[in-house]
Structure 1
Amino acid sequence: MEERVLRKLFLGFIQIHILHHAKEHPIFGLWMLEELKEHGYNISSGTLYPILHSMETGGLLIMEEKNVEGKIRKYYRITEKGNAVHDEARIKAYELFKEIRD
């Protein structure tokens, strides 16, 4: 049961990470997997790609296909709605951090 609760909680953190990086520059799945791994999130592509697709469907990200060395790569950028969600999440995360840091 505890693992399910943590997974659900971390899903929100992962989405905030995705929005943060998509705000800085266009991202693609493999790069995002490596970035998340650096922060302790060891998820599979089978977990990440549905998250990206869901965020795209929800209007938080926009996907653009590019030909990279003969292969099609999907790049994701943040949308205006995604920016608003990111900014609100950042405020809430900072408030939470201030409460739980001690």
Structure 2
Amino acid sequence: MAHQDLLSGFIRLHIVHHAAEGEVYGQWITEELARHGYRLSAGTLYPMLHALERKGYLRSREKRMGRTSRRLYRTTAQGRAALEDAKEKLRELVGELLEER
């Protein structure tokens, strides 16, 4: 992914945003991010999810589905608070970018 160092923050915001709306799982996140032009491999996504969980922004649970299981992620209270802070900063940045036009 071009400019990965800058765009990785947007990817994390997308993940926390969608996990605030409801439980999400890796394959769904991969497909949702692809709709927005982000192409992530499992080798990139899952360490990102685990790091967000370790930092307290997400929590996960395992759900059995027949013979397989799926790890579902949901935003924590800390994650929701961080998302609100990020939205405020994003609005500020977008405002500045639009002023430059």
TM-score where L is the length of structure 1: 0.92
- Aligned residue in 2 for 1:79: 76
Offset, 1:99: 1.1
Query: Which residue is 1:54 aligned to?
Result: 51
Task: Give SS of 1:27's match.
Answer: coil
The correspondence of residues 1-102 of structure 1 with structure 2, limited to 5 A, is 3=2, 6-101=3-98, 102=101
Consecutive aligned runs of 4 or more in structure 1 exceeding 4 Å deviation: none
> Which deviates more from structure 2 when the two are superposed, residues 48-57 or residues 89-98?
89-98
Distance 1:57 1:15 in 2: 14
Q: Which residues of structure 1 form unaligned runs of 5+? A: none
Aligned residue for 2:72, secondary structure, equals strand
Q: Could you tell me how far apart the structure 1 residues matched to 2:31 and 2:66 are?
A: 20
Mark the runs of 5 or more structure 2 residues left unpaired by the alignment.
Answer: none
Residue 64 of structure 1 aligns to a residue whose secondary structure is strand
Q: How far 1:8 sits from its partner (Å)?
A: 1.2
The alpha-carbon deviation at position 69 of structure 1 amounts to: 3.0
RMSD (Å), alpha carbons: 0.9
Paired letter, 1:12: G
| CA distance in structure 1 between the aligned counterparts of 2:54 and 2:37, rounded to whole angstroms | 26
Where 1:98 maps in the other structure, the secondary structure is helix
